[in-house]
Chain A
Amino acid sequence: MSFTRWLRRLAPLMVCLVLLVTACSSAPSKYDQVQEDTTGFRAPAAVDKKAEKGGTFNQFFPDDQGGYDVIPYQEKKGFAEYKLEQNGTTMAMLTINDTASLPSAAEKFSSATETVEGFPSVDQGSTATALLVNGRYQVKVLSRDPSFTQSDRVAWLQKFDLQGLAQLQGAANPAVNTAQTPAAAAPAQKKPGFKLPRMQIPRPDPILQPAS
C-alpha cells in the first residue's frame, strides 16, 4: 500500500522532470519572447526601409571643442554615433537615430515636460538625455563617465545643429510631423561657426561597404 502511495506522489514529479528535461534544452530567458518575435520568415525588419541613411546625420554633430574630441564611432542605416572624449577618456556618446524603425522611441516624447532649444526632451534611465526633432529624429547624449552629468548632457544636446536637422526632409518619407518643430525655428540660417561642408572624399574602396 505505502509503495503505491509513494508512487502516486512521485508520478507527477517524475512527469514534470521528464517534461523539463525534454522540453527545455536551455534555461528559459526573459529574452526568449523577443527572440521568437524577431526570427523566422515573418519577422519584421529591425530597421525600416525608409529610415534615413546614417551618413546623412554626420553634418549635424558638433565639432571638437573646449578640450573635447568628437570621434566617429558607428554609422548604420538610420543611425550615427560619435564618441566624446576628453584627454583620451570617453565621457559620453552622441547619437542621432531615425525613429521610423522604432516608433515607440518617438512615443516616449509625447509625455515630455521639458524642452531643449524648443524640442521635446526626456531623461531616460540614469545615463541618457534625448530630444526629438520633427517627431522623428532622436538626438541623444549618453554619459559614460560619472562626472558627465545630466546638465552636461543637455549642454551637449544644444551643440548639435538641431535647426539643420529640423530642415531635413525624410528622403524616402517626407511625411514628417512638423507640429513639433519649434515655432521659433527660423529657416536654416548659418550660425557663426557653422561647420564648413566636409569634403567628400571617395570611399576607401567600393567593396568596403557596410552591411546596411
Chain B
Amino acid sequence: MSKKIYEIVDKLPTGGLTVRALKTLDNVVPGQWNNLVGFDHTIKTVTGETDEAMVKAIGERAIALFNDKKQGYQSALWLYQTVDSASGALGAAALANRIGQDTFLGFLKNLTPKPEKAQTIDLVVKLVAEVVAFCKISGIPGDSLGDFLAALGDYGSESLIRMAALVSFDGIIPLGADFSLKALNAIKGFSPGDIDGNQTFKGIKDEIPGANDGAKLSFMTETFESTKGWMDKFVGDHNITQSGLVDNLGGFIEGSKGKLDYLGAFLDMSVKYYEHTGTQTLARRLIERAVAEI
C-alpha cells in the first residue's frame, strides 16, 4: 500500500516533544517557522489560493507527482524519516553507553560507540541527507554551480528551522560550541571502518553518493567541509550558545542542565525534527510545483 502524502501531511502533529523542541528555536531564528500542518491548509497557505476547486486541483496534481516514484519525492521522504529513526537508535545506543559508564553495565561500552564519535557521524550524515533530499525534491536549479549554491543557501521557514535544529540539537548541545571544527577534524580522521557500524550511516548509506564506503565517506567529508562556513556563520549571526539552548529546552525537559550527553541522547530518541520539518518542506515544494503545472 503506497503512502498517502495527503494523510501524512494531515497527520503531522501540532504538539508533542518534537514541536515543542522546535518551538524553542524561535528564540534563535525568530518568526521563521510556524508549524504548518494539514494538506489543504498547506496548499492554501503556500499558494494563497482560496478557491476550493483550485485547491483540489492543486492537491490532485501534487499527489500524482508524489506517487510517481521517478520524481524522487518518495525517496526524499524516506530519507527524512530514516535519518531520524536511525539516529533515534543511535540515541538509545549513546544512552546505553552513558549508563555503561555509570553503572555495573560496563560491558555495554563494548557494544556501543563512544557518544562523541557517534554524535559526530550522526551530525555529518544528517547534513548529507539534507543535501541529497534537497536534490531529490528541488532538482539542481539553475545553470551553474553558483545558481545551485544560491538555491541551497536560500533556506526559509521549515528548511531553515531544520538546519537550526541540526546545528543546535545535533551540533552544539552534544559536541559544544566548536562542534563544526571538532566534527570536521574527527571525520577527516575516520576510515570507512569507523562509519560502517554506525546506525545512522547504515540507515541511509544507499542514498549517499559514492560507489563504496570510502567514496561515501569522502563525499560526507566534502559536504561537511563546504557547509562548515555556513554553519559557523549561522551560529555567530544568531548568537547560539549551549547554555542558551539548554535554558530554552529546560522549560520542558526537567533536570537537563549538567547532563548534556543525556540531553543529546534524549533529543535523539524522542525528537523527530527531520521527519517533521522534512515532510513540511517536501509538501511545500510539491505544492509549488503542482500549482504551476496545472
Would you give the shortest CB distance from B51 to chain A, in whole angstroms?
5
Question: A81 contacts B288, CB within 8 Å?
Answer: yes
Question: A75 contacts B60, CB within 8 Å?
Answer: no
0 or 1 for each of B56-86: is its CB under 8 Å from A? (1 = yes):
1001110111011011110110000000000
Stretch in contact with the other chain, from B102-110, B137-145, B248-256, B267-275: B137-145
Q: Which residues of A contact B186 (CB under 8 A)?
A: none
Q: With A29-B6, A47-B70 as given contacts, are A38 and B64 in contact (CB-CB < 8 Å)?
A: yes
Question: A72 contacts B49, CB within 8 Å?
Answer: no
Cα A203 to Cα B143 with chains together (Å): 9
Q: Is the C-beta of A204 less than 8 angstroms from some C-beta in chain B?
A: yes
The 8 Å CB contact of A71, one of B71, B73, B139, B150, is B150
0 or 1 for each of A87-105: is its CB under 8 Å from B? (1 = yes):
0000001010101011011
Would you give the shortest CB distance from A100 to chain B, in whole angstroms?
11
Stretch in contact with the other chain, from A3-11, A112-120, A140-148, A186-194: A140-148
Q: Which residues of A contact B151 (CB under 8 A)?
A: 71-73
Cα A75 to Cα B138 with chains together (Å): 6
**Chain A residue with Cβ nearest B294:** A105
Question: A34 contacts B63, CB within 8 Å?
Answer: yes
**Chain B residue with Cβ nearest A102:** B293
Contact count band on B: 35 or more
**Chain A residue with Cβ nearest B208:** A207
Question: B288 contacts A45, CB within 8 Å?
Answer: no
Cα A39 to Cα B4 with chains together (Å): 10
Contact count band on A: 35 or more
Interface centre among B50, B138, B294 (most CB of A within 10 A): B294
Q: Is the C-beta of B247 less than 8 angstroms from some C-beta in chain A?
A: no
Q: Which residues of B contact A211 (CB under 8 A)?
A: 70-73, 75-76, 135-136, 139
Question: A204 contacts B148, CB within 8 Å?
Answer: yes
Q: Which residues of B contact A97 (CB under 8 A)?
A: 292-293
Question: B209 contacts A125, CB within 8 Å?
Answer: no
Would you give the shortest CB distance from A202 to chain B, in whole angstroms?
8
Question: A143 contacts B48, CB within 8 Å?
Answer: yes
**Chain A residue with Cβ nearest B60:** A34
Question: B63 contacts A126, CB within 8 Å?
Answer: no
Q: Is the C-beta of A199 less than 8 angstroms from some C-beta in chain B?
A: yes
The 8 Å CB contact of B143, one of A31, A58, A105, A143, is A58
30 pairs, CB–CB < 8 Å, chain A vs chain B: A30-B56, A31-B4, A31-B39, A31-B59, A35-B67, A39-B2, A46-B67, A47-B70, A71-B150, A71-B154, A72-B148, A74-B137, A75-B138, A75-B141, A81-B288, A93-B292, A102-B61, A126-B50, A126-B54, A128-B291, A138-B293, A142-B47, A142-B291, A199-B143, A203-B148, A210-B72, A210-B135, A211-B70, A211-B135, A212-B71
- Please give the residue numbers on chain B whose beta carbons come within 8 Å of chain A beta carbons, in ascending order: 2, 4, 6-7, 39, 47-51, 54, 56, 59-61, 63-65, 67-68, 70-73, 75-76, 131, 135-148, 150-151, 154, 209-210, 219, 285, 288-289, 291-294
Seed contacts A35-B6, A47-B71, A81-B292; 11 additional CB < 8 Å A-B pairs:
A29-B4, A37-B64, A74-B141, A78-B293, A97-B293, A124-B54, A199-B143, A210-B138, A210-B140, A211-B73, A212-B139
Q: Which 9 A-B pairs have the closest CB atoms?
A: A211-B72, A207-B209, A72-B142, A72-B141, A46-B68, A210-B139, A95-B292, A75-B139, A125-B54
